Structure 1
Amino acid sequence: MPLRHLTPRDQHLFWQYGRGADVPVHEPLVHRAIERHAIVTPHAVAAEHHGATLTYGELDRYAGALAARLVREGVRPGDHVGLFARRSIPMLVGLFAVLKAGAAYVPQDIGRTPPAQLADVVRTARTRVILTQKEHVPRVPLPLPGGHRLIALDDPAPYDPGPLPLLPPHPDDGCCVLFVPGTAGRRHGVKLTHRNITNLLLTEPGGLGIRPGDRVAQLLGIASGPAAWEILGCLTRGATLAVRGTDTGTDTGTDATARTATVLIATPAVLSGIDPADCPHLRAVAVTGEPCPRPLADRWSRRTALFHCRGPAEATLVTTMGRRTPATGRPLPNGTVYVLGADRRALPIGETGEVWAGGDPVPAGYLGEETLNAQRYAPDPFLGAGRAMFRTRGLGRWTPDGDLEHLGRPADRPVPPGERPLLRLAGERAAATVTVTR
């Protein structure tokens, strides 16, 4: 029993506080959720960009034809396809086509990512095909490895429909591969599965109540995890994606896109450049990527429902969500959050320890990084059954009312009076410590 060292009360609260609700996910494949809207409401607008619109029926038709081409190129479930593009309608068609072909898309902003980094993505993700826009073909690092194909998303040649794979992907197959910052400037690829992503998008509060008729602003760079939340969160729920056409987080393009939106998913930096008074239709905002300063949170929460989201891409973007304060939140449905000591034993409620995430939000790990996987992922002794848990490297503690209070990284957090450095985090340098109250 991994909890027998705790009192009966703390054993009970360990699960009451740390386990999200058990909620069924009605569609465990991302593209199938989008296809449903194409069948039921084919004339509804799926996306708008620079005055151009794309209906769900058109999105499904164009993506289906491109998916057939990908299949003819040898793409199969389990493969990775590079999506080296910019925010645009062709980018959305390419993304949906990759999912229809059963593969995982690997997003990179072709206009901003250095060629050397793109080349590293190609090597690490072992992409079979790279999709881009014609104007950006010169930025694709050449020569590509043997067996790779480059396809222009906006090629004027007509798409020829054809058969899709007879075997659809499994919910535990990859949906997208995100590259996250690592040490010494390196970036590491993390494959998120359909099960990981639908658990966020098709349950609440991660779904943000998005429904047909809503307008979701697509403000962020396509390579970021929150951008996947923007795009797929909108399309899986039948809303309209309002795609921003410019790049600077505080420019008028952002303001114009946000002005008509009913739902925003944004970083604090982006949110700080928007006046909530200019967004009269907003009913929900998810702030993610980094802690939201309290004055900014107060400014927005007076106008709309503001969700504070904490978590890394390695745990499918969100570990906890909450609306009380920027520093607290609760686990998502079908997910778990643990506060553990350096020996990975559960700590009593109220004590400070390292935050680990488990359950359906946790993917298989980093691509080709066995040493790093061993440091950051571990078998989950609490759920068992072959499940894994992810080490966030952040500190936290449970409040008496069941919120997880996020306390930052060990090196960033001063030791308050009454606390003493006690536990070194396993695998970390000596400067990293967990503190416990005397």
Structure 2
Amino acid sequence: MDKIALSDEALAVHEKINRTDADYPAESLKELFEAAAGRRPDAVAVVHQDRKVTYRELNGLANGLAARLRAAGVKPGQVVGMCVKRSPEMLAAMLAVIKCGAAYLPFDRKWPDDRLGGIFGQADCTTLLTDAPDQMGTRFPQAQVISADPAGLDTSAPDPELRVAQDSVVYIVFTSGSTGSPKGVPIRHEGIVRLVFNSRFVRLDENAVVPQLAAVAFDAAEFEIWGTLLHGGTCVLYPSDYVRLSELKRIVQDNGVTAVFVTTALFNVIVDEAPAVFDGVQTILTGGEAHSLRHIEKGRTYYGDGRVVSVYGPTECSVFATYYPVVDSVLGESALPIGLPIQNTSLYVVQDGVLCAPGEPGEVCLAGPGLSPGYLGMPELTEKKYVEYDIDGEKVRLYHTGDRAFVREDGNVVFQGRLDDQVKVNGFRIELGEIAHHLNQAPGVKQAFVTVAEKDDGEKVVVAFVVPAGEDFTPKACTDHLATKVPGYMLPGEIHVRESFPLTGSGKVDKRALLAQRHAEA
């Protein structure tokens, strides 16, 4: 076990920010949901379009489906692939898997067969629970396919007597891998419980009403779902595959939404085009990418101090790890801080085995019960990314995020981009995040995205994509603005104008789609 070197100053600031201990239940999601259903059987658990499902009804559906899974041979510790369209039956399917002591692996039916086959192989997943059993059975004849259709279920079945350990795996999410092969990240029940109980960043209780917007294969969905269902609150399922602001506004107003999570890209669109969508919402959580200070300030000015909360966290730390309520103007800052660790989470900034003092840049490392046990079938990568250290005599397991940051004197952590976002162009090392930051503040720019592409001759070029704020926008004005902020070698070699940015299923800017558009224009 390596020992991390530290100064008194570095230790003091980290001890200050890592006082995050808070009580949370010792039970699994199974026991906590069943307890909520027992306390509030007639409360509305789920809203989907014009349909309202009570806790009694949802628990009955889940129990009946769990009995179907057990009859098919599903055992504790097994991984069950889950593909059900967003509906109360989707939530019942997740609960049914949990009630068997198994883990669910959410996937999208639109993913290619090769990718899905590889994911199922990595996760040792041989059973699929789906609302399209014929289609899935044809695509994956070697799998056991179980229908999620509620027809024929015994919804009066009691809760299974099985008790699920809190340290067992509840779900698996696959993230993109730098090698081109997706990485399976198993998350324990405890990781989610620690996220949604005694929360520092949002109020979650039986009065919580949260819309479920994220694709279920994106880990933000876990916050939206369990943040309500474990407390006896209401989860409002967004009825469409793609968010329309008019529809989102209606859902927020009709259901009395108390908290919402939106990706950075969607937040920017909302504050630019229709900030009234979130009128009345107590807490607006946003994250997923580095924030535009202009959009954050616009949101703070409209909604008021403290209602916009930036959240940060890799999948490997059970959804969120830090939070930053925006209570003052952020204009003039170098970047929006990612803030302080949430409850029962610790953060350390480390550089070359040394704990960083305030102002010293290093890598963000996370600790606590939210950490995944490691990557599926990737022991070498797990050993590299999850490392035990001695920090001032205490044994701490740290996850190396690959994100750069520094701790301010007040304890707030400021994100500085990815370690692997540092690219080399014409011999110069360039931080793409720095260029994007200044470009987002350029006159006439509504949104900007910066990446690197290869030219025909194999040389790399910095490429910027811009959504203009008005008709008077010109790429030259952008370049002139950037020339006053960054060295000449950091200026984009190309600036492409777009009406909007394509988004991935997880709500982030789709870099591949933008580069494909660039290639088509060539």
Equivalent residues of 1:119, 1:141 under 8 A apart: no
Counterpart position of 2:340: 330
Residue-by-residue CA offset, 1:25-74 (whole Å, 9 max, x unaligned): 12431222221221111111111112112111111111012112222322
| Corresponding residue SS for 1:172 | coil
SS at match of 1:391: strand
* 1:159 CA drift (Å): 3.2
Q: Which residue in the other structure is 1:113 paired with?
A: 111
Unaligned 5+ segments in structure 1 are 422-438
Please point out which of 212, 216, 221 is paired with 2:206: 212
Corresponding residue of 2:71: 72
User: Quick check: 1:359 aligned with 2:368?
Assistant: yes
Give the Cα separation in 1 of the matches to 2:215 and 2:40: 28
Task: Report the Cα offset of residue 308 of structure 1.
Answer: 0.8
Distance 1:391 1:141, change over 3 A: farther
- Scaled by the length of structure 2, what TM-score is found? 0.73
Q: CA separation of 1:412/1:214 partners in 2, compared to 1, >3 Å: closer, same or farther? A: same
What is aligned with 1:264?
260
Q: Hey, what does 1:314 align to over in structure 2?
A: 316
Q: Which amino acid aligns with 1:93?
A: A
Question: Which range moves more in the overlay, 239-248 or 373-382?
Answer: 373-382
- Report the residue type matching 1:240 in the other structure: T
Q: Matched residues in 2 for 1:69 and 1:297: separation?
A: 48
Please give the secondary structure, in 2, of the residue aligned with 1:212: coil
Q: Once the two structures are aligned, what percentage of the paired residues are identical?
A: 26
Alpha-carbon distance between aligned partners in 2 of 1:412 and 1:405, rounded to the nearest angstrom: 16
User: Which secondary structure does the structure 2 equivalent of 1:109 belong to?
Assistant: coil
Aligned residues of 2:14 and 2:347 also touching (Cα < 8 A): no
1:398-437 aligned at under 5 Å gives the runs 398-412=407-421
Assess if the C-alpha contact under 8 Å between 2:83 and 2:130 holds in 1.
yes
| The structure with more radius of gyration | 2
- SS for the counterpart of 1:116 is helix
> 2-side partners of 1:294 and 1:33: how far apart?
39
SS at match of 1:175: strand
Partner of residue 453, structure 2: none
Query: Do the aligned partners of residues 297 and 367 (structure 1) sit closer, same or farther apart at CA in structure 2, a change above 3 Å counting?
Result: same
Secondary structure of 2:52's counterpart equals strand
User: Contact between 1:20 and 1:330, CA under 8 Å: does it hold in 2?
Assistant: no
Find the aligned partners of 1:194 and 1:316 in 2 and give their Cα distance: 10
8 Å contact kept, 1:2–1:345? no
Written as runs of structure 1 = structure 2, the 5 A alignment for 1:321-400 is: 321-324=323-326, 326-342=336-352, 344-382=353-391, 388-400=397-409
Looking at structure 1, the residues matched to 406 and 218 of structure 2 have their Cα atoms a distance apart, in angstroms, of: 28
Corresponding letter in the other structure for 1:332: I
Task: Give a deviation string over 1:371-393, Cα, whole Å, max 9, x none.
Answer: 22122111143398875211100
Which amino acid counterpart does residue 209 of structure 2 have in structure 1? R
What amino acid is aligned across from residue 22 of structure 2 in structure 1?
V
Q: 2: distance between equivalents of 1:185 and 1:311?
A: 22
How far residue 141 of structure 1 moved from its aligned partner, in angstroms, is 6.2
SS where residue 391 of structure 2 aligns?
A: coil
| Contact 2:34/2:159 (<8 A) preserved | no
Q: Is the 8 A contact 2:375 2:381 kept in 1?
A: yes
Cα 1:162–1:50 change in 2 (3 A) is: closer
Letter matched to residue 313 of structure 2: G
1:424 maps to none
Alignment root-mean-square deviation, CA: 2.7
- Whether the 8 Å contact between 1:314 and 1:362 is mirrored in structure 2 is yes
**363-372 or 247-256, which moves further after superposition?**
247-256
Indicate whether 1:196 and 2:205 are aligned.
no
User: Per the alignment, in what secondary structure is the counterpart of residue 364 of structure 1?
Assistant: coil
2:21 matched to which residue of 1? Answer: 22
For 1:364, the aligned partner's letter is P
Give the secondary-structure state (helix, strand or coil) at the position aligned to 1:195: helix
The whole-number CA distance in structure 2 between the counterparts of 1:171 and 1:100 is 13
Aligned twin of 2:472: none
Shift of 1:205: 2.0
Structure 1 match to 2:11: 11
Unaligned runs of 5+ in 2: 331-335, 431-522
377 and 230 in structure 1: CA distance in 2 versus 1, 3 angstrom threshold: same
* 2:128 aligned partner, one-letter code: I
Q: Distance in 2 between matches of 1:163 and 1:211?
A: 25
SS of 1:381's equivalent in the other structure is strand
CA gap 1:30/1:10 in 2 versus in 1, 3 angstroms: same
Instruction: Give, as a single letter, the amino acid of the residue that structure 1 aligns with 2:154.
Output: Y
In structure 2, the partner of 1:296 is 295
**Would you say how many aligned residue pairs link Structure 1 and Structure 2?**
410
